[in-house]
Amino acid sequence: MKTILVTGGAGYIGSHTCVELLNENYNVIVVDNLCNSCEESLKRVERITGKNIKFYKIDCCKKRLLEKVFVENKIDAIIHFAGLKAVGESVKMPLEYYQNNLISTLNIIDLMRKHDVKSLVFSSSATVYGDPKSVPIYEDFDLKVTNPYGRTKLMLEDVLRDFANVNKDFNIALLRYFNPIGAHPSGLIGEDPNGIPNNLMPYITQVAIGKREFLGIFGNDYNTPDGTGVRDYVHVCDLARGHVLALKKLFTNSGLVTYNLGTGKGSSVLDVLKGMEKACGFEIKYKILERRPGDIAQCYASCDKAYKELGFKAQYSLEDMCRDSWNWQKNNPNGYKTKNKILVK
């Protein structure tokens, strides 16, 4: 049985990936400092799967502590989710973002080399494409970023490409996620943002549950079919499955590989709103506001490469994503409740 170290495994995408890994009979070790999550998510993963997770509450920036995990366990591969991810916050606190995201990842790579762990899946983002020249977006499009968060992802992709160039026996998957939404169909785990959500789906579900008065739609004058922004929303369980498929690819000694993970289909803000109204069975209030600075009109993936090389194809529809997001929000109106509200350390 192979052992996978999942950093940031208590978070939104990490917890769903732990479910997939356990269901596929991998041994799972999680390292998380719980700066944006809580241990309850892991307890719920154990409830869903009936299997145990070995958990270390460690900051990946603290190399000496992190090394303990490599010494105590025989690790076959790492999925590295740990990182800070809020674009607006990264503009206000760039140093914290560079410190946390860069140092944690450099530590992971160095410890992999020292302890002979050859396979790594890295969480990248569609944000590395900036404002793409056209849609759908292919993996070989130009890369350019506009904020510190995005820059950490692009810098780390560069670090990993440079590292892989001279370390041919290492296998690395750069996965560029589009817009993950939805939750595990059990309603036990899901997205649990701190404070006022920045992203569309958690904002809509909080309006639906009565925590916020209305959804502000950031612009309806884009060059898109209904004027609102178009994105590639992908169910978090599909994304989680994509990680398991990427791991299997790495175990064939693939070298460095890069994949978009999305659905290949664009949906507008109004499409998502309508989907959520259908899931809830009532109308959700909204107002049209100004465009949000930095937003782009359209962003959706070509997932042909992930399909051809990994066999990845998203299975959940927008309707499924809305149903599962609502199911999670309705069953957990205050999320996991006990989150630490510290940024790092």
Are 101 and 156 in contact, with CB atoms under 8 Å apart? yes
What is the CB neighbour count within 10 angstroms for residue 226? 12
Q: Which residues bind ligand UD1 (CB under 6 A)?
A: 87, 125-127, 150, 179, 198-200, 203, 215-218, 229, 231, 269, 292, 294-295, 299
130 binds ligand NAD (CB under 6 A): no
Q: Which candidate, 320, 21, 332, 33, places its Cα nearest to that of 192?
A: 332
Phi, psi of 207 (to 5 degrees): -70, -45
Q: Which is nearer to ligand UD1, 136 or 150 (CB)?
A: 150
Contact positions with ligand NAD (CB under 6 A) in 200-259: none
Q: Which is nearer to ligand UD1, 216 or 255 (CB)?
A: 216
Contact partner at residue 300 from ligand NAD, ligand UD1, none, CB < 5 to 8 Å by partner kind = none
Residue 26 catalytic? no
DSSP result, 276-324 = HHHHHTS---EEEEPPPTT--SEE-B--HHHHHHH-------HHHHHHH
* Tokens matching residue 99: 């410190």
Q: How many CA atoms lie within 13 A of 91 on its CB side?
A: 7
Residues 159-188 as x/- pattern, contact with ligand NAD by CB under 6 A? ------------------x--x--------
Contact partner at residue 59 from ligand NAD, ligand UD1, none, CB < 5 to 8 Å by partner kind = ligand NAD
267 binds ligand NAD (CB under 6 A): no
Residue position matching structure tokens 């989680």: 240
Rounded distance, CA 332 to CA 327, Å? 8
Interface residue with ligand NAD, options 29, 61, 183, 301 (CB under 6 A) = 61
Are 328 and 189 in contact, with CB atoms under 8 Å apart? yes
291: three-class secondary structure by DSSP: coil
Q: Shortest approach of ligand UD1 to residue 12 CB, angstroms?
A: 10
Contact partner at residue 37 from ligand UD1, ligand NAD, none, CB < 5 to 8 Å by partner kind = ligand NAD
Rounded distance, CA 195 to CA 203, Å? 10
Residue 89 neighbours by CB under 8 Å, 6+ apart: 97, 149, 343
The total number of residues written for the chain in this structure: 345
Return the range that interacts with ligand NAD (CB under 6 A); candidates 79-87, 163-171, 215-223, 253-261: 79-87
- Residue with the CB atom nearest ligand NAD in the bound state: 11
Q: Shortest approach of ligand UD1 to residue 220 CB, angstroms?
A: 9
- Segment (H or E) for 94: helix 94-97
83 binds ligand NAD (CB under 6 A): yes
Q: Which is nearer to ligand NAD, 43 or 227 (CB)?
A: 43
* Tokens matching residue 41: 């998510």
Paired strand residues for 190: none
- Segment (H or E) for 174: strand 171-177
- Segment (H or E) for 217: strand 215-218
Rounded distance, CA 141 to CA 210, Å? 41
Contact positions with ligand NAD (CB under 6 A) in 1-60: 7-8, 10-14, 31-37, 59-60
Q: Tell me the number of residues near ligand NAD by CB under 6 A.
A: 28
Active-site pick, 97, 129, 149, 222: 149
- Residue with the CB atom nearest ligand UD1 in the bound state: 229
Contact positions with ligand NAD (CB under 6 A) in 90-109: 100, 104
Q: Which is nearer to ligand NAD, 227 or 302 (CB)?
A: 302
Contact partner at residue 36 from ligand UD1, ligand NAD, none, CB < 5 to 8 Å by partner kind = ligand NAD
Q: How many CA atoms lie within 13 A of 65 on its CB side?
A: 12
Residues that bind ligand NAD (CB under 6 A): 7-8, 10-14, 31-37, 59-61, 81-85, 100, 104, 123, 125, 177, 180
Residues marked as catalytic:
149
